[in-house]
Amino acid sequence: MAREEFPGWHGTTIIGVKKGDEIVIAGDGQVSLGQTVIKGTARKVRRLSPGGFDVVCGFAGSTADAFTLLERLEAKLEATPGQLARASVELAKDWRTDKYLQKLEAMLIVTDGTELLIITGAGDVLEPEHNVAAIGSGGNFALAAARGLMESDRNAEQIARDAMAIAADICVYTNGKLTVETIKKAS
């Protein structure tokens, strides 16, 4: 059966907010198949610790594809400890050029507490402007909300939570059941 014959999978909003000495990645819990909510409590934000080096990752897209990418990222981080940007570029290169990986449909937001990056299957490793990154169905809603809140006195977690609440109010593929991970800049 061709992929086009399956109904569209939707239902992820992931946001990364960098403010002060912390970076927060938050993700909603909704997974939808067409117009049906399949699960409302999915965990799309994970903490990896290859070699004792903490990295927080959020993913949008196919879960199996995202887990494949997270495993690959973890291997790249073990090969280049403490070098998130280098590991991310190596993953993006593999993702872009490997015939198996090219078929994966997901996006990642990753951070080590210093850098905040978006990794795509097009070979992109992007450092977002304005210290906010967002991906997924409600990503643009969350991004706009967070950018509007960045000048407030809220911390990174409050901005991420408020932006996700706004996205959940607007995007039918986003809910308010959040997984939130905070990582502070290493001193």
- Higher per-residue pLDDT: 89 or 105: 89
Mean pLDDT confidence for 53-81: 90
Mean pLDDT confidence for 69-80: 92
Separation between Cα atoms, residue 142 and residue 156, nearest integer Å: 13
Mean pLDDT confidence for 146-156: 97
Phi (first) and psi of residue 24, to 5 degrees: -120, 135
pLDDT tens digits, one per residue of 37-66: 889 999 999 999 877 789 999 999 888 888
Over 90: is that where the pLDDT of 169 sits? yes
What's the 3-state SS for 55-83? EEEEEEECHHHHHHHHHHHHHHHHHCCCC
pLDDT-derived band at 3, boundaries 50, 70, 90: very low
Q: Which of 12, 13, 80, 174 is catalytic?
A: 12
Cβ–Cβ contacts within 10 Å for residue 78, how many? 13
Q: Which domains does the chain have, with CATH numbers?
A: 3-181 (3.60.20.10)
63: annotated active-site residue = no
pLDDT averaged over every residue in the chain:
89
Number of residues written out for the chain: 187
Confidence (pTM): 0.90
